[in-house]
């Protein structure tokens, strides 16, 4: 493959392609992915340089071929073309699987004769954002590995070769694989689905056409401007349309997807939202029937109800730092059949490939309803009542956020408090727990509190506020 060049090196803000040393914008290379604002911090030149730097790492680890895919954002096809050029100029064979959700690219990377994959997606960010999710040798590529790409690009230390590119659809195979695990029940379900105009739209249409029951589809047309609502199902206002459909159509449940289809939203027949940790417990109980004593992983933001529920069902709960890449890596290390996080990345490793696919998670939720006879509404009503805050995110300077956590940790340990510090501080006291952690991807701190009654919750909130004030921060409204 060849690449046109104007002879300049570095990142070209007019969209030109980088051919030698390249410096990424400081905000692009994040902990779990690469993401920026198109035309401001992210250009075609960055996509090409990413192809060269990631392709270099892949080649040096023995890779011959890499799959790429892209979401429905207007900028995605151009970024995919530049990325493919960069990978090819490293001497790799590039398999472009086309437009679809991130899990379809993961499926390609696990089933085709390729050694890695790159998904062009802005996930649930606003329309002017875009980015890249990476995997190599069927494992998440994140953290220090992503930072190393910046050093390779800055040095221009690229592998070179004459690569090739082909277009190969995996869409039909992907949809067929997703629906094959549905367990049918005595009564066909009535389900409302909301793709949020995100990249899961086409797959949602194709999958529901193969499923028994009645299916009401919302916002299934892929549109990178997201005209109906923002594609983030963890935000209640983005589920209002789905809730209205569940009520008006008398559905058994509602399913929503984020912008690239790797996170799920669920509402029960009363249109009540089930949060990520509640979805996990509903699924974990079923998985533990077939895998007694198995380790089930959840992140530090999850409710104590989840961890206690896993133990009560005969499983071994394991708390893990937040981050879907971290969780997927950890479940391979310990042989866990199931994991997830509060943000509703749900990962199956029992009958599936060990990555997060919201459409597959929806099939598994429907299967539990069918096989157990327990509706989501009945399950939700059975949960212990707890009082908690949502996940609260508030600004804190990038060069200060980790220092604040260390200061809080030092004060807590000096007091002899019961502290879990695997990711920030999670503290048990006053009949509940509170969490304060630094985001890995933004200049924010994250707080959450949970207790058995409102009085204790108020005490925990006051405790978090006092710790923030002690570190010189004005606490947010909790």
Indicate which residues carry an active-site annotation: 123
Q: Is the dihedral of CA 300, 304, 309, 311 positive or negative?
A: positive
239-265 CB burial, b ≥16 within 10 A, e <16: bebbbebbeeeebbbbbbbbbbbbbbb
DSSP alpha helices (H): ranges in 185-316? 201-209, 240-249, 276-290, 304-312
Helix, strand or coil for residue 309?
helix
* Planar angle of CA 222, 200, 124, nearest 5 degrees: 80
Burial of 170 (0-12, 13-18, 19+ CB in 10 A): buried
Q: Are 238 and 232 in contact (CB under 8 A)?
A: yes
Contacts of 372 (CB under 8 A, 6+ apart): 286
The secondary structure of residue 261, as a DSSP letter, is S
Q: By C-alpha distance, which of 166, 45, 46 is closest to 94? A: 166
Query: Encoding tokens for residue 346?
Result: 């749900």
Q: Strand 190-194 vs strand 214-218: parallel, antiparallel, or unpaired?
A: parallel
Q: By C-alpha distance, which of 173, 174, 183, 178 is closest to 287? A: 183
Q: Are 199 and 174 in contact (CB under 8 A)?
A: no
Q: What would you report as the CA-atom Rg of the chain, rounded to the nearest whole angstrom? A: 23
- The β-bridge partners of 392 are 447
Residues belonging to the chain: 478
Q: By C-alpha distance, which of 473, 388, 477, 462 is closest to 438? A: 473
């Amino acid at each position: 493959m060849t690449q046109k060049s104007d002879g300049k090196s570095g990142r070209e803000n007019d969209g030109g392609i980088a051919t030698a040393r390249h410096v990424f914008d400081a905000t692009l290379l994040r902990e779990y992915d690469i993401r920026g604002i198109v035309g401001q911090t992210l250009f075609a030149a960055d996509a090409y340089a990413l192809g060269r730097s990631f392709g270099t790492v892949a080649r040096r680890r023995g890779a011959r071929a890499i799959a790429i895919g892209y979401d429905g954002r207007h900028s995605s096809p151009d970024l995919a073309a530049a990325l493919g050029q960069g990978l090819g100029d490293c001497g790799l064979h590039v398999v472009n699987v086309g437009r679809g959700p991130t899990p379809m690219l993961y499926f390609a990377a696990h089933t085709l004769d390729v050694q890695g994959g790159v998904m062009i997606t802005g996930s649930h960010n606003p329309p002017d954002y875009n980015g890249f999710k990476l995997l190599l040798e069927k494992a998440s590529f994140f953290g220090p590995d992503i930072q190393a790409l910046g050093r390779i690009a800055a040095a221009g230390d690229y592998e070179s070769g004459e690569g090739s590119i082909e277009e190969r659809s995996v869409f039909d195979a992907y949809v067929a694989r997703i629906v094959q695990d549905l367990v049918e029940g005595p009564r066909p379900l009535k389900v409302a689905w909301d793709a949020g105009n995100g990249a899961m739209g086409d797959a949602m249409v194709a999958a529901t056409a193969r499923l028994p029951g009645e299916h009401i589809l919302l916002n299934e047309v892929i549109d990178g401007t997201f005209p109906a609502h923002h594609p983030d199902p963890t935000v209640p206002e983005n589920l209002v349309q789905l809730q209205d459909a569940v009520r008006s159509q008398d559905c058994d449940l509602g399913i929503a997807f984020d912008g690239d289809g790797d996170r799920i939203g669920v509402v029960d027949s009363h249109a009540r939202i089930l949060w990520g940790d509640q979805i996990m417990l509903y699924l974990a109980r079923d998985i533990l029937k077939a895998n007694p004593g198995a380790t089930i992983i959840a992140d530090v933001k999850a409710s104590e109800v989840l961890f206690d529920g896993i133990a009560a069902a005969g499983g071994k709960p394991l708390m893990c730092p937040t981050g879907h890449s971290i969780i997927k890596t950890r479940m391979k290390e310990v042989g866990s059949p199931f994991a997830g996080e509060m943000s509703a990345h749900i990962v199956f490793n029992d009958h599936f490939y060990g990555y997060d696919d919201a459409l597959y998670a929806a099939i598994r939720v429907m299967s539990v309803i069918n096989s157990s006879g327990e509706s989501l509404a009945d399950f939700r009503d059975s949960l212990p009542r707890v009082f908690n805050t949502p996940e609260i995110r508030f600004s804190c300077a990038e060069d200060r956020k980790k220092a604040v956590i260390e200061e809080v940790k030092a004060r807590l340990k000096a007091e002899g408090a019961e502290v879990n510090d695997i990711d920030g501080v999670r503290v048990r006291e006053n009949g509940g727990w509170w969490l304060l952690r630094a985001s890995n991807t933004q200049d924010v701190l994250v707080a959450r509190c949970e207790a058995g009654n409102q009085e204790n919750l108020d005490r925990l909130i006051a405790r978090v506020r006092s710790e923030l004030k002690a570190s010189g921060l004005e606490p947010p409204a909790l």
